[in-house]
């Protein structure tokens, strides 16, 4: 057995959470993973009513989704490092900034600050007082697996006992339909990578996917957890 395989076997997904429009509980997530339910392509966002109204008032769909999945993952170590992966980032906020530039030839500083690619993970870190730092990555070749491998490498390179992985992408504005053809449903999920197994922990090495997409990864994760719960 190679060193890489041995290392992989020592990494576990100990907990995970997910949010998407039209999927509200564990049973519905299992239905989605089994192909019996669809995620809604909409601008619906989680309420995040656990935050202050002033804090959440101007947040985008992706920022609210990111905050929600981190909230549902709690408790976590406040010094845990975060890996945030997205293919489009704050695309709705970026559209607003571009529109502002075209129509007004100016950008409001506040609008620019929440349109950055890393805005949602930065806001989530502030919301929960997480101090371990984060990396926001756009995976090369639009490959979810490459982003996952980066998080695995980051975990091996630190002494921390857990690492938070977050994936999030929001609905694509209709104005960008030519650039991003097809349906792009909003989805966010987060999980903890841990060095030691716990109850129902899933080895990262067992999550082999048929396609290189975040939704395929999440479906595999949900079904593995379901099978483990049924057999344990």
Residue 163 domain flag: yes
Per-residue b or e along 174-189, where b marks 16 or more CB atoms closer than 10 Å to that residue's CB: eebeeeeeeebbbbbb
Asked whether 112 and 97 are in contact (CB, 8 A), the reply is yes
Residue 21's pLDDT is: 96
Q: Is the peptide bond before 75 cis (omega within 30 degrees of 0)?
A: yes
**pTM listed for this prediction:** 0.89
Q: What angle do CA 42, 93, 133 make, to 5 degrees?
A: 105
- β-bridge partners, 169: 187
- Residue 111 included in any domain: no
Please report, for the domain that includes residue 186, its CATH number. Answer: 3.40.47.10
pLDDT at 229: 65
Number of domains present in the structure of the chain: 1
Two structure tokens written together for 101: 């530039």
- Residue 138 maps to a domain: yes
pLDDT tens by residue, the chain, 232 residues: 334 444 444 789 989 999 999 999 999 999 999 999 999 999 999 999 999 999 998 899 999 999 999 999 999 988 889 999 999 999 888 888 888 888 877 777 777 778 888 999 999 999 999 999 999 998 877 789 888 888 888 888 777 788 999 999 999 988 888 888 777 899 999 999 998 887 778 888 888 766 788 999 999 999 998 877 656 5
Kindly state whether residue 43 falls inside one of the protein's structural domains.
yes
Residue 98 in domain? no
- 13, part of any domain: yes
Decide if 59 is inside a domain: yes
136 is a domain residue: yes
Domain limits at 183?
3-91+119-231
């Amino acid at each position: 057995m190679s060193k890489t395989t041995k290392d992989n076997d020592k990494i576990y997904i100990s907990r995970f959470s997910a949010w998407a429009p039209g999927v509200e509980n564990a049973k519905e997530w299992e239905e989605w993973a089994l192909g019996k339910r669809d995620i809604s392509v909409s601008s619906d966002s989680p309420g995040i009513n656990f935050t202050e109204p002033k804090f959440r008032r101007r947040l985008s769909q992706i920022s609210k989704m990111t905050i929600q999945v981190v909230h549902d993952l709690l408790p976590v170590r406040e010094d845990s490092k975060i890996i945030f992966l997205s293919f489009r980032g704050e695309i709705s906020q970026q559209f607003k900034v571009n529109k502002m530039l075209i129509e007004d030839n100016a950008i409001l500083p506040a609008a620019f600050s929440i349109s950055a690619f890393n805005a949602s993970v930065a806001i989530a870190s502030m919301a929960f007082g997480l101090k371990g730092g984060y990396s926001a990555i756009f995976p090369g070749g639009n490959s979810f697996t490459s982003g996952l491998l980066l998080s695995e490498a980051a975990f091996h390179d630190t002494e921390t006992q857990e690492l938070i992985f977050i994936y999030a992408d929001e609905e694509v504005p209709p104005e960008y339909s030519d650039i991003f053809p097809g349906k792009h449903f909003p989805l966010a999920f987060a999980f903890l990578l841990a060095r030691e197994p716990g109850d129902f922990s899933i080895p990262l090495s067992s999550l082999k996917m048929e396609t290189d997409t975040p939704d395929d990864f999440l479906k595999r994760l949900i079904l593995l957890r379901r099978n483990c719960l049924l057999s344990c």
